[in-house]
Amino acid sequence: MPDIRHTPEAPTRTLTLAPGERIDAHRHDNHQIVYAGSGVLAVTTDAGTWFAPGNRAIWVPAGCVHAHRARGHLELHLLGLPADTNPLGLDAPTVLTISPLLRELILAATRGPHTDSPERLRLRAVLLDQLRASPQEPLQLPAPTDPRLTAVCDLLHHNPADPRTLAALGATAGAGERTLSRLFRRELGMTFPQWRTQLRLYHALRMLADEMPVTSVAHRCGWSSTSAFIDVFRRAFGYTPGTHNRRP
Q: Which pLDDT tens digit goes with each residue over 146-157?
A: 999 999 999 999
pLDDT for position 138: 83
> What's the whole-model pTM score?
0.87
Q: Are 111 and 10 in a shared domain?
A: yes
Residues 108 and 156 in one domain: no
Predicted confidence at residue 247, as pLDDT, reads 56
* 26 — pLDDT class (breaks 50, 70, 90): very high
For residue 116, is pLDDT > 50? yes
Domain with 135 in it: 5-140
Q: Are residues 136 and 14 in the same domain?
A: yes
Over residues 227-237, the mean pLDDT reads 95
How far is Cα 142 from Cα 127, in angstroms, rounded to an integer? 29
- Checking if the pLDDT of 60 tops 60, the result is yes
Judge if 171 and 181 occupy the same domain.
Answer: yes
Same structural domain for residues 59 and 125? yes
| Residue 77 shares a structural domain with residue 156 | no
Confidence of residue 245 (pLDDT cuts 50, 70, 90): low
Mean per-residue pLDDT for 88-99?
A: 91
Q: Within 10 Å of residue 226's Cβ, how many Cβ atoms?
A: 17
Mean pLDDT value of segment 109-117: 80
Average pLDDT over residues 6-15: 78
* Local confidence band at 131 (pLDDT 50, 70, 90 cut-offs): very high
The last residue of one of the domains, among 140, 173, 198, is 140
- pLDDT for 73 equals 83
Q: Which residue has the higher pLDDT, 243 or 220?
A: 220
Are 36 and 99 part of one and the same domain?
Answer: yes
**Residue 160 belongs to a domain with what CATH number?**
1.10.10.60
In which band, very low, low, confident or very high, does the pLDDT at 12 lie, cut at 50, 70 and 90?
confident
**Total count of domains within the chain:** 2
Residues 78, 32 contacting (CB under 8 angstroms): yes
> What one-letter code names the amino acid at 127?
L
Closest CA to 92 of 40, 42, 23, 46: 46
Q: DSSP letter string over 58-80?
A: EEE-TT--EEEEEEEEEEEEEEE
Average pLDDT, the chain: 90
